[in-house]
Amino acid sequence: MACTGIIVAPGPRGDDGTDGTAGAAGGNAYTTTTAAFTMPAELGSVTVTVGSTDWMVPGQLVFVQNAGHMQVSSVNSDTEASLTNLEDATTGVYSGNVAPTTNVPASNRIAPAGEAGPDGTLSGAASGDLKGNYPGPLIGVANTQGSLIAGNGTDSVEMTVGADGTVNHADSAQAAGRIDRGIDLTGVNTTLSGDLAVADGGTGASTRTAALDNLAPAASARGDILIRDATNWVRLPIGSANQVITSDGTDPSWSAATAAEARPAVEAVSINTNVSSPTQDHYIYLCTGGAGGITMQLDAASTFFSSPRTKMLTFKKVDAGLGAITIDPDLAETVDGAATYDVTSQWDSITIITDGTSWYII
């Protein structure tokens, strides 16, 4: 039988019951690598051994300490998972990951990670030292071709380009600390250092002695002489001992000194003698005149002369006899204008030369 309209009043609150039994401890939301692995190529995968995979699920993003952002591609066991390297150079995402082939040692933590958000963008008008609009503003100072930006101690200012061929110099006396001007080879306004190489038009040295050594022909040696051939300056190696330099009218060369060049020849005579042109340049006759004298008959003067050189003849009377030593030129030729010339006293002498026509006492 149903009852209606009955009101039930609650009784007083009872005492709290006893605490229930504690539940089991929760699992960590991270793990640690238990073995080293090699970072795979971008978007490539690698099997990683860890302490526990209980919290991992395929597709989950994780961060691996000392490796970077990776994604769980599969959970292989309680302690093994396959992770994918999320770096992608094409899109630029996760560029902070370590490079592929990097060894990632054990004991690095792995924890859940969020997905990288889209790159931020900057837009709007630029200001200050910039002009134009973001994301590609321009420097708003130097716009003239060749201009530079320099600091004047307070602001960035435009340094206009100098004349063609000038060089930018640091100069603290200028407002911007710099100026374009020509190179000063004196070193007053341009700091010069080093030696300009021979191949670049210099001497390759900073002293005259070293410069001459560098400019000398190759394989120069002691005693060499610098001469000019038909084209270039070349070395004339030192000759043998006692050689002399002679010329063929075109080039100098070393050759042995001839008797004519080295010393005069001497001949003693006591009779009439025909004097012809000697091999030597200087010929000395030691003459004995005796009682009646002797004559030294000269060949034609032209045979003793070869322009610009002439032979030199010396006649010396060496005896005390009364006979004179008579010098008699050929035909109408003369000695100092005279047809003949006598040496009459002992120890007197005469030295004569010719111009090819007449003889002259010197």
Q: pLDDT averaged over the chain? A: 88
Segment 153-183, tens digit of pLDDT: 887 777 888 888 888 888 888 888 888 888 8
What phi and psi values does residue 215 have, to the nearest 5 degrees?
Answer: -85, -15
Nearest to 329 by CA among 354, 349, 292: 354
Q: What span, in angstroms and rounded, lies between the C-alpha atoms of 106 and 33?
A: 5
* The predicted structure's pLDDT at residue 4: 66
| Region of poorest pLDDT, from 241-245, 301-305, 308-312, 316-320 | 241-245
Residue predicted with more confidence, 305 or 145: 305
Q: Which amino acid is at 281?
A: D
Q: What span, in angstroms and rounded, lies between the C-alpha atoms of 98 and 208?
A: 60
> What is the three-class DSSP state of 30?
coil
pLDDT at 200 over 60: yes
Q: Which amino acid is at 203?
A: T
Provide long-range contacts, Cβ within 8 A and 24+ apart, for 48-52. Answer: 48/80, 48/81, 48/82, 48/83, 48/110, 49/79, 49/80, 50/79, 50/80, 50/81, 50/110, 51/79, 52/27, 52/28, 52/78, 52/79
Residue predicted with more confidence, 141 or 38: 38
The residue whose two tokens read 């006649």 is 315
Residues of the chain with CATH 2.40.30: 31-112
Share of the chain above pLDDT 90, in %: 47
> What is the three-class DSSP state of 260?
helix
Which range scores top for mean pLDDT: 7-16, 237-246, 290-299?
A: 290-299
* The predicted structure's pLDDT at residue 115: 87
* Largest separation between any pair of C-alpha atoms in the chain: 208
Q: What span, in angstroms and rounded, lies between the C-alpha atoms of 30 and 361?
A: 127
Residue predicted with more confidence, 129 or 2: 129
Q: Which amino acid is at 303?
A: T
Q: How many CA atoms lie less than 13 Å away from 39 in the CB half-sphere?
A: 21
**pTM (global) more than 0.85:** no
Write the burial class of residue 47 (CB in 10 Å: 0-12 exposed, 13-18 middle, 19+ buried): middle
CATH of domain 261-361: 2.60.120
Segment 237-284, tens digit of pLDDT: 888 887 888 888 899 999 876 655 557 899 999 999 999 988 888 999
Which range scores top for mean pLDDT: 120-134, 224-238, 246-260, 342-356?
A: 342-356
Residue predicted with more confidence, 315 or 118: 315
Residue predicted with more confidence, 286 or 23: 286
CATH of domain 31-112: 2.40.30
Tokens at 50, concatenated:
């860890």
Residue predicted with more confidence, 66 or 220: 66
Q: What span, in angstroms and rounded, lies between the C-alpha atoms of 215 and 298?
A: 55
Residues of the chain with CATH 2.60.120: 261-361
Q: Based on C-alpha coordinates, what's the Rg of the chain? A: 58
Nearest to 71 by CA among 33, 102, 104, 45: 45
pLDDT at 305 over 90: yes
Residue predicted with more confidence, 292 or 148: 292
